[in-house]
Amino acid sequence: HGFARDMSITNRASASPRTPVQIRKQAARDEPLINSVTVDHFNVPTPTALTDSMHGEIRSFGLVIARIKADSGEEGVGYITIPNNVAAGAVASLITRDLGPSLIGQSPERTELIWNQMAKLMRSIGRSGLVSRAMSVLDIAVWDLKAKVYKKPLWRLLGASKDSVKVVAAGVDLMLPLKDLIRQTEKFLTDGFLAIKIKVGRREMKEDIQRVRAVRAFLDNYAFEIGGQRLPLMVSADGEWSLPQAVKALALLEKHSIEWVEMPIMSDDVNGYKKLYNTSIIAVAAGSTVTTEQEVMHLICEGKLSIAQIGVNNIGGITPFMKAARLAEIHKIPVTTQGPHDIHFHLVAALDNATFCEVSEFRLNEFIDLPLTIVNGKAKLSDVPGHGVRFDFKALEKHRDSTNVKTTTAQRSSRGKLTMEEATAMTKKLPKDPWDMKMRDNV
């Protein structure tokens, strides 16, 4: 892509640079300060072709990773995955050129302040869409770093009282032949899952119903053999249906004991969700594609959701995810997830209104040193500080899509902290007008 492999950008200004007095006070409190941001972008192939109605055929996923380091030595990691690598390069560029530099000199302990400053920086172009994805990467990294500074696992830092969460195996399997769909379901059960989600939204609705009926029958037989209760089955339409089609589909699905139908219509059709809520007895989940907590609020308050589905990779990170989940709790609405399950486990553990946490097909077991383990339908959380995801960058290197870009501050002192003199000197290099982009890029 024409970039140097280890391009270094030094002392880039944040959206709202602090005064020397503010920085001296922060240094005096001995808070760690962020002094570098490294961005990696990979295009990872899937073992087999995946299919759904939203993306069609999926043969790879973009993986955007940000590593942020503090002058105290800890490193936080944030990441998102994007099917077919669509616009993942744009997300990486947003972090590299704009959002990443705004973290320099900030304390990772101040997660709310950092998130608000990123949002303010992006205000003029809008915070949804790609911007929200980029903010998600960095916000996850900041929380990971904060947890490591406090030497706590993320779920404990968030106040969770439980160390395991219920999970649902989410297949991306719309065009999988029926025999293979049953084999996949059997493998999920063998792997320890006790709840299954399959894709619907084929051209002929009767094919969807046939597949749901077959999977339901297989799950019922399995439950009977082990002497257990009926296992939950969910379906996801990815917004493929029109409102009349969704009304018809939900009526046909009622007899198959579906736990919930996910995104039967597009998530922005608030009035449509209100009509579905009033006409169907099946629980409806939505929200997986919305990119701000305000959109979640609109769906909850106006759309009358049964279940709010929130994705930490879409909504802007952990900070807004927890706000949206608390809003759902106020309205007595359960929360489920969509996206990077290794992060969601920690967040779901901290919620009283959480239901199943989705485990997607975009698994990173091959590239992390704490692979996923499911026992009796639950994922157990570790006591490793942070979120516990540690990437094997040597294994990922062959899938690199673009180069690393590193943002750094002044050199650390011998004791590993910014001295008051270094902090003061750092502010002298910042532009007087933070909105003067030409000056900022020349710093």
The rounded percent of the chain whose pLDDT value lies above 70 is 84
User: Which of 431, 422, 344, 419 shows the shortest CA–CA distance to 388?
Assistant: 344
Q: Could you identify the residue written with the tokens 């005064």?
A: 19
Split at pLDDT 50, 70, 90, the class of 210 is very high
For the chain, what is the mean pLDDT? Answer: 88
**Residue 164, SS3?**
strand
pLDDT at 361: 80
pLDDT at 4: 34
Taking 90 as the threshold, does the pLDDT of residue 81 lie above it? yes
Taking 50 as the threshold, does the pLDDT of residue 248 lie above it? yes
Rounded CA Rg of the chain: 23
- Region 184-206 average pLDDT: 97
Taking 80 as the threshold, does the pLDDT of residue 231 lie above it? yes
- The CA–CA distances, whole Å, from 127 to 17, 120, 293, 295 equal 20, 9, 11, 12
Q: What are the strands, taking DSSP E only, across 323-368? A: 335-337, 357-359
Q: Which two tokens stand for residue 187?
A: 């493998």
User: Beta strand pairing status for 261-262 and 284-286?
Assistant: parallel
**Residue 381, SS3?**
coil
Q: Could you identify the residue written with the tokens 């950092």?
A: 114
End-to-end Cα separation, the chain, in angstroms: 24
Question: pLDDT tens, 115-167?
Answer: 999 999 999 999 999 999 999 999 999 999 999 999 999 999 999 989 999 99
- Region 253-265 average pLDDT: 97
- Residue partners of 373: CB distance under 8 A and separation at least 6: 192, 379, 380
Taking 50 as the threshold, does the pLDDT of residue 433 lie above it? no
pLDDT at 415: 36
Split at pLDDT 50, 70, 90, the class of 372 is confident
pLDDT at 109: 97
Reported pTM: 0.87
- Residue partners of 126: CB distance under 8 A and separation at least 6: none
pLDDT at 410: 42
pLDDT at 383: 94
Alpha helices (H) along 67-160: 88-94, 111-121, 130-149, 154-157
Split at pLDDT 50, 70, 90, the class of 21 is low
**Residue 21, SS3?**
helix
Taking 50 as the threshold, does the pLDDT of residue 13 lie above it? no
DSSP 254: G
Distance CA 268, CA 266 (A): 6
Q: Apex CA 377: angle with CA 373 and CA 380, to 5°?
A: 45
- Residue partners of 16: CB distance under 8 A and separation at least 6: 117, 120, 434
CA 211 to chain centre: 29
- Region 1-18 average pLDDT: 42
- Region 241-255 average pLDDT: 97
DSSP 95: I
Within 10 angstroms of residue 5's Cβ, the number of other Cβ atoms is 9
256 in Cβ contact with 233 (< 8 Å): yes
User: Which of 24, 30, 29, 32 shows the shortest CA–CA distance to 72?
Assistant: 32
- Partners of 368 in beta bridges: 391
Distance CA 231, CA 363 (A): 23
